[in-house]
Copies of this chain bind each other. A is one copy, B any other.
């Protein structure tokens, strides 16, 4: 890179600053100073260093760029506008309802692979992309621009650790150390050495630079990819850099400049500003495209009715079975693969499996990264530990990411390990994700078929599996579409409709038998798809039992199956009586706990009798 290019980059950086200031002042909100600190870094990355096709941001071998410090969105938008992807005039529509240039980036924009704005999440996604590049034998690199404040997030260190272990030398983190957080200075100010020691301890190569010295930036970027370690560039910067009366001052986080201030700032920056349009951008290498085609069908299954198989184990069998023919499938686990049975897949396809160790936030981030590259990642751990990654799952929802989560060991039916290991709020959590599917199989056949459905489905899907073995209920050719339910018992004079799923379905069936002996009929429904719920089927069944419904679930009463049925059907007059785990449970034997917390057959019988005679 010659001197002319350096000058050009300096000019482009100032042009990006001007756009960021103008857009946020026009919007009346936003984070211009957070844009200014990173403008030189972004100019150097986008206008000469990164290899990508600016007309086709989705090209499979483009270098990837993740703006982990998502509040600097106007800077990202300005960079892409200056590549010519869309008119720079559009930047003034920032944060308007009619424009996808939102307050923080989302994949509504073609150049944002993932939503950012919840800090500390970009690096984990970057790890997933870097692992995917290796798997697909592509040479794109993944760049993650982070703030110094977000380095307080543990998720950053989960990602850093795995990147170090995996020796991801195709992953580059750039930390914009502008020393000022939202409400006060960060703990370490401009002491880059703290960050250097931390990243080194996590297995990274580190470089410390002046983040406003384009020559230094260009020089350090030229050495990207050397050695076997991931690289972090620690850039000392000033918040608001380039605006003499604002830079490095407290009280300027998330604050647009007034019109007068903007005019003054732009007057300072304009003389040296330069458009990026027409600047030559290195093209990505033309390597073979990854094979990410879904198969026409999956191999058949062969269970026998009555066989005893835990749904968590059927999950493992399904993962292996569909993974055999579906090259899109990759799997991840958090050191529970012998309990979730994802180890079946990991043994057969070690290259397509990522052991994330005990770091669930990062596991979901890595899965999201894989999903942005056309893979269908299945991540598994105990259901309760997905709570650890709720924010990553939330953001995957905003990213409309194609991520599949499988949570095992749900409810009190795990028994002796006690409440810390019981998934009792996972349905509530996963239902609340925008666009999610929440699935809860009772037997092995249903589990296997739902795994196929998940692989075909677009978006976030969650499968809830149980620890105990349960008998196979369904024939191997039974279909289980997402949004469906199965009526297992129904007769003309039924008094109550019982809706169950998972282990409680067997309790409902036992209750049906017991009640039949006493002359009381109940309709039993397997609600294996909790979201979307088979509303019409359940409503219609309920209407035949005087609208009286009992739901039974191995979950807390809030936000689970009972709330789903009531929330969707009460408007039609359906009356839902919820059996659920109404108190903090204790350790004990599974059957003891189902009885103690009144979600067993006896509790169903008692409730039905009360309602049948009412």
Contacts and interface: CB of A to CB of B under 8 A. Distances in A.
A384 interface: yes
Contact of A575 (B115, B154, B570): B570
Interface in A381-426: 384-385, 387-388, 390-391, 394-395, 397-398, 400, 415-421, 424-425
A157 B150 CA distance: 13
Nearest to A186: B357
Nearest to A155: B154
Contacts of A397: 584
A571 to B, nearest CB: 5
Interface string A559-584: 10011101101111111111000011
Nearest to A388: B391
A358 B313 CA distance: 38
A202 interface: yes
A39 B384 CA distance: 28
A420 B398 contact: yes
This chain: how many copies in the complex?
Answer: 2
A572 B556 CA distance: 21
Interface residues of A, number: 113
Given A120-B358, A387-B394, A103 B417 contact: yes
Contacts of A197: 197, 200-201
Contacts of A384: 118, 391, 394
A581 to B, nearest CB: 9
Interface string A314-355: 000000000000000000010111110001000000000001
Contact of A182 (B338, B574, B577, B583): B338
A434 interface: yes
A39 B32 CA distance: 55
A531 B150 CA distance: 33
Contact of A103 (B30, B165, B421, B556): B421
Contact of A429 (B432, B557, B563): B432
A277 interface: no
A338 B183 contact: yes
A62 interface: no
7 contacts: A102-B419, A103-B416, A152-B357, A384-B394, A428-B432, A432-B559, A435-B584
